[in-house]
Structure 1
């Protein structure tokens, strides 16, 4: 049996912009829980928004923070199972020594959404690293019985395994788009979500897959992920380019993956009549658009996308097959002691990072 220390290093939230590296007891799993040794935890825009002290918690206007004080953040998690009863292991279909990735949400299984099978919209909406359940920015972490765990190969780098979370989200956005073979698809953004959406959309084999970004290096990555054409809006007139490619009509599908307010009206204007707009982003501010474009002008389908329901097996398969240039996507890894550098790297939109991870072993 693996020897487990009594204490561990963990990043702990105390207040907005006040995260601290602390020594905490290694948690002891209950009879229905698993204990994992965390191997990597990705850092994303929602982590950054929580760190800054967001004004809402999943739509609840009465809450003044995203993360409860005392909670360990981090929801893009992979780790090795080091403890677990027969009951807990059987519940998840795993064994001690397996490497797993865990879905971000721990659904209650009791609310209307869970009872109807819409677990990713669970009403309490307890997520790892935000309020009730400690996340992965630590050396060890509990996986509760209601969590959803998936085995993933130990032959890939930990930061690549942790990318299963953003990739599953990207694939859900692609599913929401209902891409057809004859479609011209435009994806805005070549960050972690946009690149995942690119490979997902490429697997749908549309007529043409176009990716937009202001960073030429990221556009090169998009080509490696399956983009047929990449456009830099600072260098070309993307509206004219898309019109020329579509006989003047506009794109069939637009998937927004930037989180920048300007990308929303951009998409509405790039789409043809009866086109499909999918939103998958974390915005820092409210977005205003001319709703007449959606209704009177074009009768658009506007669809949100949240988390990655039912897409984790597909994301894991893509990662394990080596279909993605993950060394180029997972650009920056930091140890727990450098968690602030990790957060700052994500915040630096002009920097060289694509996907940032915290790897406790570093």
Structure 2
């Protein structure tokens, strides 16, 4: 990797709960590469769970699972910024120039595995995601960032505001998850979890005009926001019997589509109980620990269509278009913005119930 003589400020992940603010070498653009000045980088639930040491990221000796994270690495995959340097051939390769507002998909596909070759690059077998793999995918919690030759880069129109641009990555993931639900006009849809992803899924699912859109969350303020985004019914399971309410609204059968984005095991078991036979269950969350369920519910009892939703598929262009047309908004979702040097407080707030989406910005 090429570097400038100058250095820059970056958060560097060394191990679980060992992240440090450091001066590191600023990347330079090699052939077909682009360097961007970071405008903002969001902190997602996965970042918080990685920081806390979840086995999903750091491996599990008992299960002979190796660490996915390759430290030391600069974290952050919800980034966007302005092009400040293009390497030889990069303008043609990526279709960008200095000054453009751009974003790169969170995964850097290898282009060689069976998934990349058959059009499923988000499932790339190598699976280099920005912010986790050091060699080709240093992340966006820094002043500057290098986008490699293999990066999938998209322009962000000037008409899209700062905070809307900042939610492009999670919105792309939300669109993919909703698409996996294959929502029909006569469906009763339940979205469990009204964090950043859930609130974006609500807006996207509302555009599909299902018969009824129901949202479940433990935080009343988030449920109120869900109503403004198109939820027909909101349920706080800490105060109400969610399953009883949904059965009362569906003739006793249960919902047609259940999208799980709580990140908590109860979100899974709750959904398996309240979805109807032959329903479509979409699992999106990143979990911090294992979930145990009676799998006979999936097969013997209900014959469910169980679908995973991973990353963003080919949804970045759709996300950018929806934001440009004002059909999806970040209003009320981006709750906190911190300077890069305040990263420790930012992660703490992001991991709490006092925030929805937390952004990091380079220090002025």
User: What TM-score, normalized to structure 2?
Assistant: 0.94
Q: Which of 90, 93, 112 does residue 91 from structure 1 map onto?
A: 93
Q: Map of 1:251-266 to 2, 5 A cutoff?
A: 251-266=255-270
Superposed counterparts of 1:124-139, under 5 Å: 124-131=126-133, 132=135, 133-139=137-143
CA contact (8 A) 1:171 1:200 kept: yes
Give the whole-Å Cα distance in 1 for the aligned partners of 2:159 and 2:265: 39
**Partner Cα separation in structure 1 for residue 86 and residue 162 of structure 2:** 21
Secondary structure of 1:297's partner? coil
1:162-311 residue pairs with structure 2 within 5 A? 162-311=166-315
When the two structures are aligned, how many residues end up with a matched partner?
357
Post-superposition Cα deviations, 1:95-132, rounded to whole Å, max 9, x if no partner, equal 21110111110000001111111111101100111013
Q: Distance in 2 between matches of 1:155 and 1:360?
A: 22
Q: Spell out structure 1 runs of 4+ moving beyond 6 A.
A: none
1:222 & 1:86 partners in 2: Cα distance? 47
Q: Distance in 2 between matches of 1:214 and 1:118?
A: 35
Q: Is the 8 A contact 1:13 1:67 kept in 2?
A: no
Question: Are the counterparts in 2 of residues 222 and 230 from structure 1 also a CA contact under 8 Å?
Answer: yes
Give the Cα separation in 2 of the matches to 1:58 and 1:18.
Answer: 13
SS in structure 1 opposite 2:289?
coil
Report deviation, 1:92. Answer: 1.7
When residues 59 and 199 of structure 1 are mapped into structure 2, their CA distance, relative to the original with a 3 A threshold, is farther
| CA shift for structure 1 position 63 | 5.3
Structure 2: runs of 5+ lacking an equivalent: none
* Matched residue, 2:318: 314
SS at 1:11 equivalent: strand
Q: Which residue in the other structure is 1:344 paired with?
A: 348
Contact 2:204 2:328 in 1 (8 A): no
Shift of 1:66: 3.8
| CA RMSD between the two structures | 1.8
1:37–1:82 CA contact under 8 A, matched in 2? yes
* Bigger mean CA offset, 178-187 vs 84-93: 84-93
Which residue does 1:18 correspond to in 2?
18
Q: TM-score, normalised by structure 1?
A: 0.94
CA distance in 2, matches of 1:130, 1:62: 19
- 1:159 offset after TM fit, Å? 3.6
2:362, 2:64 → 1: CA distance?
35
Asked if 1:153 is matched to 2:164, the reply is no
Given candidates 56, 61, 75, the residue that maps to 1:73 is 75
User: Which runs of 5 or more residues in structure 1 are unaligned?
Assistant: none
Say which SS state the counterpart of residue 356 (structure 1) adopts: strand
Q: Which moved more, 1:4-13 or 1:21-30?
A: 4-13
